[in-house]
Structure 1
Amino acid sequence: MVDTQKFIQYFRTKKITSFTYLNITQFLGALNDNIYKLLIAFFLIQQLGADRSYLIFSTTGAIFVLPFLLFSSNSGTLADRFSKRNIIVFTKILELLVMSMGLMAFAFESVAFSYVTLFMMATQSAIFGPSKYGIMPEIVEIEKIPRANGLLTSFTFLAIIIGTFLASFITDITDRNFILAALSCTLISLAGVMMSFGIEYTPPSGSIKRLDVRFLRDIYKTLKVSYHVPSLLPAILGSAFFLFLGAYVQLNIIPFAMEALGLTDVQGGYLFLLTALGIGTGAVLAGRISGKVVELGIVPTAACGITICLFLIDYYSSSLTIIIPLILITGILGGMYQIPLDSFIQIASPNESRGQVIAATNFLSFSGVLLASMMLYLLSGVIGLRADQGFSVLGVFAGCVTIYFSFQFYDYVSRFVGMILSKLHFSTTYEGLDNIPSEPALYVCQHTAWNDTLLMLGAQRLRMRFFIQNEQEHKGWMKRLYKFLRVVFIPEVETLSDNLESIHSIGKTLRRGISICIFVENMAIEDEINMILSSTAFCDVLKAHETKIIPVKIEKGAKEKSHRFLPMLMNRIHIPAYLTFYQPKEIA
């Protein structure tokens, strides 16, 4: 007999991280999903006839989505109550059993059994999802989660690309021998089981919540909890919209290729592969841009780009040479849109209910898939719009979402834009970066010029609100910049204790998880901080939010002009700047 403990220990002693094992496990699962879904579709077309293909695809699509809607909430509860690693191993074993059922369904040429197998395949995927995403903060360091999510998403879409190709390829080379084709899926499942044992054990998160068949009520309660966590509910809704968007593009791309571009259905399928390739690329880019901190400022920017691309696809619908890069760019922007949202949901979700939050996100996401199918039927079957016009309608929806996120994530966008402008405008040297806390803080520094705001935004990765002493008249363009950054003009620090409006605004900002930067005119920063500490009302606000005070010194050099063309150009743009962050001061 095989010693299970030795088998597991073999994987753990290898110099491979748990995240790598998780990534390989989910890659093999996604690969199997995409191969098997198409194999069943090909099998049913052979059994029922090509003239019923529309009914076959709509039925298989509904059956595959149904378990995600029915079991997502309880799957999240399981992930919160039990070891997520053990649940992952269980689902991979279940997948192996389901693939064995698939072999039998093809062997007996049973249509009904094929549908049952597809339902079971989707069920194990629905159980796997919350644990897959929920385990990330337990096996990956917080600052590495955005990049890890980028890799996870990239491998998922790589699995979609390879799976879509292999399903057709295996069907062709086996001369539609579905038993041999299903055997390949069984072998992939076996490999997934072996890889899942390499993931290190993670303890249960401590939730005592029980399973409840009234999952809609659970989802509603989870969303209510998410509402009280800053930016979490908008991130959940944004993630769900992405699946709606992707599902509509997937469903509409082949009719679009046939109607507008004159391609065959198989050739049209390659356009969707371009989208998947783009999403994987965008996911990696988003992970690299985010670095150690989730960069939600990318989301509205990417959504705006997606909106423009959707309208351009309709406008240039007859030109294949333009459509190919547009679809690829749309995919890249989609990946950049999705990764920050997924990363933020994982990090911001309360630990004891993280699985439920992810499950609720999955439920809303797969509801979006159903809505995409309904929208396609409504636009094409009822209203009679062409496939290319459908992309413009989708662009209208994407535009509305862009406007929504521009308001919801305004502080993230302004910080992201400010960071980019800072890197373009300054060549900055930092000292004391270790003194910058991971939680919101109060920064006090001398105000030397309008671009001090850019330096502070580029120096740290948290959202920041600026409070500037209103001692001078500003130009029109500077007023517009300050309005974009939501700068608050305040009186001199000595009178802050009497300015309840400013103190209330500072407290509200800290409560939302946003740092405060107070720009003062006095070069003696310590004197200004002492004045702050002498204000009882101000200190009460800082104590309530356990906020540290950090003195900051800003120095700027002069532009260099005696260089050759390119260095001279860069030095004319870049201003040398030096930022020093001193030791935080605690409130007594």
Structure 2
Amino acid sequence: MSQHSQFELLKTKRFLPYFLTQALGAFNDNVYKNALLLFVAFGTFASMGDASEGGLDKNLINNLAAGLFILPFFIFSPLAGQLADKYEKSQLIRKIKLFEIVVMGLACVAIWSESIWGMILLLFAMGTQSAFFGPVKFSILPQNLKREELVGGNALVEMGTFLAILLGTIFAGYLVSATDVKVTVPIAIVVFAMLGYLVCRSIPKAEAPSPKLKINWNPVTELSGVWKSTLANRPVYLSIMAISWFWFIGSSYLTQFSSFTKDVLNGNPEVSTLLLALFSIGIALGSLLCERLSGRKIELGIVPIGSLGMSVFGIDLFFAVPDASATDIGAVDFIQNTENWRLMADLLLIAMFAGLFIVPLNALIQQRSNEEERAQVMAANNVFNALFMVVGAVFSIICLSVIELSIPEYFCVLAIMNLVVAGYIYSQLPEFVLRFCIWMLSHTMYRVKHQNLDNLPDEGAAVIVANHVSFVDALLIAGACRRPLRFVMDKPIYDSKGLNWFFRLAQTIPITSERRDPAAYQAAMDQVSEALSNGEVVCIFPEGRLTRDGEIDNFRRGIELILERNPVPVLPVALRGLWGSFFSHGNGKALASLPKRFWSKVDIFAGDLVGAERASAEYLESTIKGLRGDRA
């Protein structure tokens, strides 16, 4: 295993106990929930009776069970977020896991006494426990993991959660098929609850970020206040909306698997479990793929790839549904039939791209939310996730029962809607589109390696100064830096008809010479000053134009004027390996002929951070020449 593999986290005390606690909790929840649904479906206890004879209505019970489990997320998540910010998190997790043991103990009593209504009501208690655990489990990650481990940690959590759901569902079926469910199920749920508590005792301390927080017991006003704060942080707000949309899509697929299997594929419950397995494995694969594709940083460029893949294979799923002739098909027969392979591949790939979609978004929320209210933001995220799942359930009823779409048609509608929603989100947050373009460029035409970019401050204003070799210098620097950048660009290029929309999307600052257009020049300098005053990072190319001979030209005094107004630190950056590429003037005029080089090695070297008082144009030019060396 590579030294930098995300699986290395599973060897650390700061992650493994947390990972096992989360996975065991998800596993146990699904053992109990699915065992209960199977009790109802098969009339395991005599007290259940038959719906036609005045007994339990199975559809009513299924919907009631789902509602009771999700209701606590609306009621208790705001309080849970406050508690997770106010108190030390490892101790809070232990108390929550002790509560799980109590709930499972009561569930044992309900099962032994064959009290189906007691079992159903305990789903509310389970949902309450999950609602209190949710904000803690996500807000603790940035405290116990390094910045470069955040994507890998979230990927492992998503993988563990969905595989735990799958295994819990399968294990519940196994237990219910046993000879005495009044023994097997109670023993299992209590044992796994106790095991989860024992594991969580090894979770290291995570100090309270806001110990003086005054608890607001009103969930409505608390959620409203947090949401107003979140709206001001647009990337976090839109990421919450995107994650909630994921749960709208995901829950819509998962809840239809049983009906899809029975009514469309003519399969038995084994096939429904197979579909769940494919979906869970796909999520796990996509989640694990995130770290490799993102280079161990939060790479928003793969989020559009994830949403596009979900829609492409979601639409193809509609066309992949075979004409089923046989009935009561088992999983083995279903797999052996080659006509089903395309459908299985589509389902696996939908889930895999969903994993690519959700992991960077979770990591972004954790990184960019205010540390003192991070858990409260995660709690708001949980509320909206639950809300979108409820809306998804209502939408499925409308589509399948009122409009009377078939399930394959419903899946196709979801895929098309996903394109529309994703397009809206990306139009509102251009950083996603920009990072996507950067990611595609740096994974097709160039292999980018960088050094010392960690010298860029994590917070606060700074200026990046670099030599100018090609038309894609800005994109490559932006792709290598962990913080969003504002670039200063030549105004005639900015005004290009075909590309102006993209430059505006990227919030580029157009500039021209003061002699040519004094007003435009002053407007650009004002924008730079405003960006720096707001704590942003601005990148400029002091040569003012692309190099014509591969050498670094004289730096102009614009950088000195910028620092006079905003004396912020400067990071000198040297580019090398771009001279002679398609986007440079190395082989004549740039962009004038077909590209001849692909997968070219490009180096980005950063120097030490330079104080504003030392950062003259001459000094920065000399520093960058030294960083670049002889290779252009």
Q: CA deviation at 1:520?
A: 2.9
Q: Greater CA deviation, 178-187 or 310-319?
A: 310-319
Partners of 1:15 and 1:393 lie apart in 2 by 43
Contact 2:78 2:379 in 1 (8 A): yes
1:582 aligns with 2:601: no
1:552 aligns with 2:571: no
Specify whether residues 447 and 169 from structure 1 end up closer, same or farther in structure 2 by C-alpha distance, changes over 3 A only.
same
Note the 1:218-229 alignment, pairs <5 A.
218-229=222-233
Partners of 2:572 and 2:518 lie apart in 1 by 20
Specify whether residues 514 and 368 from structure 1 end up closer, same or farther in structure 2 by C-alpha distance, changes over 3 A only.
farther
Letter matched to residue 223 of structure 2: I
What is the match of residue 416 of structure 2?
A: 396
What is the match of residue 258 of structure 1?
A: 262
Deviations 1:423-463 (A, max 9, x none): 43235565554544444642233433323334323433333
Q: CA deviation at 1:517?
A: 3.5
Contact 1:105 1:114 in 2 (8 A): yes
Contact 1:496 1:502 in 2 (8 A): no
3-state SS in 2 of match to 1:18: coil
Partners of 1:384 and 1:417 lie apart in 2 by 40
What is the match of residue 409 of structure 1?
A: 429
1:28 aligns with 2:24: yes
Partners of 1:380 and 1:141 lie apart in 2 by 46
Q: CA deviation at 1:259?
A: 2.6
Letter matched to residue 428 of structure 2: Q
Contact 1:443 1:516 in 2 (8 A): yes
Letter matched to residue 157 of structure 2: L
What is the match of residue 462 of structure 1?
A: 483
Q: CA deviation at 1:165?
A: 0.6
Q: CA deviation at 1:191?
A: 0.7
Partners of 2:449 and 2:341 lie apart in 1 by 45
Residue in structure 2 matching 1:367, options 374, 384, 387: 387
Contact 1:80 1:204 in 2 (8 A): yes
What is the match of residue 116 of structure 1?
A: 121
Deviations 1:488-529 (A, max 9, x none): 542137889862321243345554845423363477979636
Contact 2:100 2:193 in 1 (8 A): yes
Partners of 1:177 and 1:472 lie apart in 2 by 72
1:453 aligns with 2:474: yes
Q: Greater CA deviation, 266-275 or 205-214?
A: 205-214
Partners of 1:297 and 1:341 lie apart in 2 by 11
Contact 1:150 1:287 in 2 (8 A): yes
1:421 aligns with 2:448: no
Partners of 2:514 and 2:458 lie apart in 1 by 26
Contact 1:81 1:204 in 2 (8 A): yes
Q: CA deviation at 1:65?
A: 0.5
3-state SS in 1 of match to 2:471: coil
Partners of 2:11 and 2:452 lie apart in 1 by 35
Letter matched to residue 40 of structure 1: L
Deviations 1:92-141 (A, max 9, x none): 11111111111100111112211222211121111111111111112111
Letter matched to residue 236 of structure 2: L
Q: CA deviation at 1:192?
A: 0.6
Which structure 1 residue ranges, 5 or more long, are not aligned?
A: 1-13, 560-569
Partners of 2:251 and 2:50 lie apart in 1 by 23
Q: CA deviation at 1:40?
A: 1.4
Letter matched to residue 433 of structure 2: V
What is the match of residue 9 of structure 1?
A: none
What is the match of residue 520 of structure 1?
A: 543
Note the 1:161-560 alignment, pairs <5 A.
161-172=166-177, 174-175=178-179, 177-318=181-322, 320-428=340-448, 430=450, 432-439=452-459, 441-469=462-490, 488-492=509-513, 499-507=521-529, 509=531, 511=534, 513=536, 515-518=538-541, 520-521=543-544, 528=555, 530-533=557-560, 535=561, 538-539=562-563, 542-543=566-567, 546=568, 548-554=570-576, 556=578
Which structure 2 residue ranges, 5 or more long, are not aligned?
A: 1-9, 52-56, 323-338, 582-594, 614-632
Residue in structure 2 matching 1:154, options 138, 156, 159: 159
Q: CA deviation at 1:15?
A: 7.6
3-state SS in 2 of match to 1:205: coil
What is the match of residue 88 of structure 2?
A: 83
> Which has more helix, going by share of residues?
1
Partners of 2:483 and 2:32 lie apart in 1 by 44
3-state SS in 2 of match to 1:443: strand
Q: Greater CA deviation, 340-349 or 443-452?
A: 443-452
Name the count of aligned residue pairs: 561
What is the match of residue 587 of structure 2?
A: none
Q: CA deviation at 1:203?
A: 2.2
3-state SS in 2 of match to 1:573: coil
TM norm structure 2? 0.81
1:38 aligns with 2:61: no
TM norm structure 1? 0.87
Deviations 1:270-299 (A, max 9, x none): 212211111111111113323432112222
Q: What is the Cα-based RMSD across aligned positions, in Å? A: 3.1
Q: CA deviation at 1:157?
A: 0.9
Contact 1:419 1:457 in 2 (8 A): no
Q: CA deviation at 1:303?
A: 1.1
Specify whether residues 41 and 422 from structure 1 end up closer, same or farther in structure 2 by C-alpha distance, changes over 3 A only.
closer
Q: Greater CA deviation, 63-72 or 301-310?
A: 301-310
Letter matched to residue 20 of structure 2: I
Q: Greater CA deviation, 115-124 or 488-497?
A: 488-497
Partners of 1:260 and 1:338 lie apart in 2 by 29
Specify whether residues 104 and 574 from structure 1 end up closer, same or farther in structure 2 by C-alpha distance, changes over 3 A only.
closer
Specify whether residues 368 and 415 from structure 1 end up closer, same or farther in structure 2 by C-alpha distance, changes over 3 A only.
closer
Partners of 1:472 and 1:371 lie apart in 2 by 45
Partners of 1:206 and 1:488 lie apart in 2 by 38
Specify whether residues 72 and 458 from structure 1 end up closer, same or farther in structure 2 by C-alpha distance, changes over 3 A only.
closer
Percent sequence identity over matched residues?
24
Partners of 2:127 and 2:409 lie apart in 1 by 32
Q: CA deviation at 1:483?
A: 7.2
